[in-house]
Structure 1
């Protein structure tokens, strides 16, 4: 089976798995009030449900990527989805907050293993000239979660209780595991001589600057996005429906940004697309104090934010995979780790800015987020210079992974 023929029906399956994980990641904020009532806990305590998930993902993504780097990708994906499903089932059954937190740790472990493995599989099954688009399809599942998964999960929790949302995610994980087991061909990445060789790219300066770039722009974005309800209150007048519509604009354009980023990466290269996207994100964040007062300008800002934020993802993953395809799962895991570390760090820093920023605290969120995005531009450019001048630049393995075996059983 040729690489291109194999990938076409498989990518949607991988994207649905990413959709489930993206929904699980972001829907918790929408169901927290129901969890507070159901478990008779305080909002501050239940807030750890989101924090624990993000921190666990950030820590385990590179660890699991290193441990499973030589394991066949289909096996890794099925295991990750089964763990994800079991974690959500345990979340739905949780009788106490402590049980729920433990269940979220298990769920995060499955999610941390899945996204890098799915991206590596998409890249390995695609021809080099279509690799950016293949990764964008998988990442599009994460973007789609902000459009459909999070609003639906939030509505389901409000109508049928928060446990129903976790049961839905558990069922989706089981369906995706069955689809991957039955539809994905074997995917074996090029074998490296040993563990030391596979871990070598972690010490590569190019990889470190690439991951640092992700950490910086994700922190900058989520420093504001975590508190978007308060930031956009002047435009929405505190109306939850209006806020939901603005988030829908963000989500729809985020899907478009992912597709655009993937296609542009294939056409123009990863670095130019990344620089343009991060620069656009910096402009959006810097101008939020001017755009958040009116509904029309807020719509434009949220749309531009969705495009620029998600257009960064395909070029970043493409850059990491190209550094060392034999360690692709580990490097992509590090990028996922940086993403979730940025989510956690952005929320933490944003809270401190609001607490100590006085009347202008909300305006300062966008300004500080823009500064972090500009710093991300700097680290991205440094990474490019290191790639051009570094002594290892000419010694890396070629970026084209070995073909999948084409076996489906």
Structure 2
């Protein structure tokens, strides 16, 4: 493939956007690894410092559909670069914040930048790639997000061990600035999509099948990220409090997450979304239940985070598959809502975990109630499955009534 090959040029454009996704994904995951450093520097408790994760995730979940509605007629390239500029400013502000309250405010600013960039980037690659290369383009784009779990978060955690948490925020800001330059230079003008009113973006919630599936996502990821938020404390016996050792554990978690995400699609196609959701979820529950013991030694901690990372991320694809299958005509809006549900779940995780640590359990036993939250999500998932099956059966029965079988043999009535 030559440098002038149009496919090569397209890939370079997508890589520019993927760098932005890497920065935003790193910002989403890296704070969990530096909470003790943040808490000590800003003179707050670790559970209080975890509210920085809540502020970012909740602001992103709320602002993402609002920005998409309000800025529907804005230039896509301007929105991408503007989003990255706001994101960089938010992270620099966080890194320079003199107080915890100031850091919280700048986390919201960073989330606004992420909410401006991520949905716009997804729309841009779809518009530029065309139908024949759409899947490849999206895989490059969201490869940046996967790379953030495998590389960005552990690198940021390691930087915190060498400097402090403020150095980590500057690292994230630098990657965001690099992405802004890449988009400015490498991305052409992008066609604007049709504007979608905010009310229409919420219309899939009227379908109980979609709403229950979104609740499955929200609750399950709340439980999965309760442990991730406080990973530095839960696995402190294994790491000895060493930031470098924790960074290696997060690296293992991230690599497993990428692998789990990659295989989830094939497994869902082969066995259906229900099997993959429940298998991955039950495995994650088992891993969480055993953390009081697995967190005591580095080898067992390594095994635990690998299984947890793979299974946690393997649930995302089949949940999206279920959403799309329920109502294919509304699939784009449903997937957009799933992103908000995911971030709301992540935003609730620090609140749930902080309450549990302050009033219920020690860090060593945090995996037990986290497992209960994930199990609750799986029960909601079973309810959504039953509602979907019941609805499909009703449609089939109505069709049978209106359209008699041409050959009413036993083969037509299993």
Q: Shorter chain as normaliser: what TM range?
A: 0.7 to 0.9
Which whole-Å deviations, capped at 9, do the CAs of 1:144-200 have from their partners, x for residues lacking one? 223322232233344344443333322322221232344345555763786655543
Q: Is the 8 A contact 2:212 2:380 kept in 1?
A: no
Pick one of 226, 230, 235 that aligns with 1:232: 235
The equivalent of 2:403 in structure 1 is none
- Deviation track 1:239-261 (CA, whole Å, cap 9, x = no partner) reads 65544433221111112223333
Deviation at 1:327? 7.8
Q: Could you tell me how far apart the structure 2 residues matched to 1:215 and 1:142 are?
A: 19
SS of the residue corresponding to residue 385 of structure 1 reads helix
1:360-402 Cα offsets, whole Å, 9 max, x none, are: 84352353144134225325525743774688xxxxxxxxxxx
The answer as to 2:309 corresponding to 1:313 is: no
CA offsets, 1:270-314, max 9 Å, x none?
666555544443443345456445544432222121112222334
Question: 1:191 — aligned with what?
Answer: 194
* Alpha carbons of structure 1 residues 44 and 293: separation in structure 2 relative to 1, 3 Å: closer
Matched, 1:20 2:26: no
Name the structure 1 match of 2:110: 107
- Determine the structure 2 residue equivalent to 1:156: 159
What secondary structure, in the 3-state scheme, does the structure 1 residue paired with 2:194 have?
coil
Shift of 1:215: 0.3
Pair 1:303-2:306 in alignment: yes
**Residue 364 of structure 1 aligns with which residue?**
368
Greater displacement, 14-23 / 256-265: 256-265
**2 CA distance for matches of 1:249 and 1:270?**
26
Match of 1:374 in 2: 378
Mark the CA change 1:140 to 1:232 in structure 2 (over 3 Å): closer, same or farther.
Answer: same
Give the one of 136, 139, 143 matched to 2:142. Answer: 139
Indicate conservation of the 8 Å contact 2:291/2:365, yes or no: no
What is the distance in 1 between the residues matched to 2:188 and 2:138? 17
Q: 1:61 to 1:317 in 2, by over 3 A?
A: farther
Is contact 1:289-1:366 (8 Å) kept? Answer: no
Moved more, 210-219 or 28-37: 28-37
Alignment partner, residue 402 of structure 1: none
1:156–1:233 Cα change, 3 Å: closer
The answer to whether residue 1 in structure 2 is matched with residue 11 in structure 1 is no
Which among 161, 166, 169 is matched to residue 166 of structure 1? 169
Q: 1:90 aligns with which of 89, 93, 102?
A: 93
1:84 Cα shift?
0.7
Q: Cα 1:327–1:90, aligned 2, differ >3 Å: closer, same or farther?
A: farther
Give me the whole-angstrom Cα distance separating, in 2, the residues matched to 1:145 and 1:7.
22
SS at structure 1 position matched to 2:210 = helix
Q: TM-score normalized by structure 2?
A: 0.75
Q: Which residue of 2 aligns with 1:179?
A: 182
Decide which moves more: 102-111 or 267-276: 267-276
Which of 62, 75, 83 is the equivalent residue of 1:80?
A: 83
- Aligned-pair CA distance for 1:56: 1.6
Contact 2:72 2:193 in 1 (8 A): no
For 1:339, which of 342, 358, 361 is the aligned residue?
Answer: 342
**Aligned equivalents of 2:277 and 2:136: distance in 1?**
15
RMSD: 4.0
Aligned in 2, Cα 1:276/1:13: closer, same or farther, shift over 3 Å? farther
CA contact (8 A) 2:154 2:250 kept: no
Query: Would the alpha carbon gap of residues 325 and 128 (structure 1) be closer, same or farther in structure 2, given more than 3 Å must change?
Result: farther
Runs (5+) with no aligned partner, structure 1: 392-409
Unaligned runs of 5+ in 2: 396-414
Task: Verify the 8 A CA contact 1:132 1:318 in the aligned structure 2.
Answer: no
The count of aligned residue pairs is: 390
| Bigger Cα displacement from structure 2, 288-297 vs 331-340 | 288-297
Q: CA deviation at 1:52?
A: 2.0
Distance 2:160 2:196 in 1: 49
Deviation larger for 47-56 or 33-42: 33-42
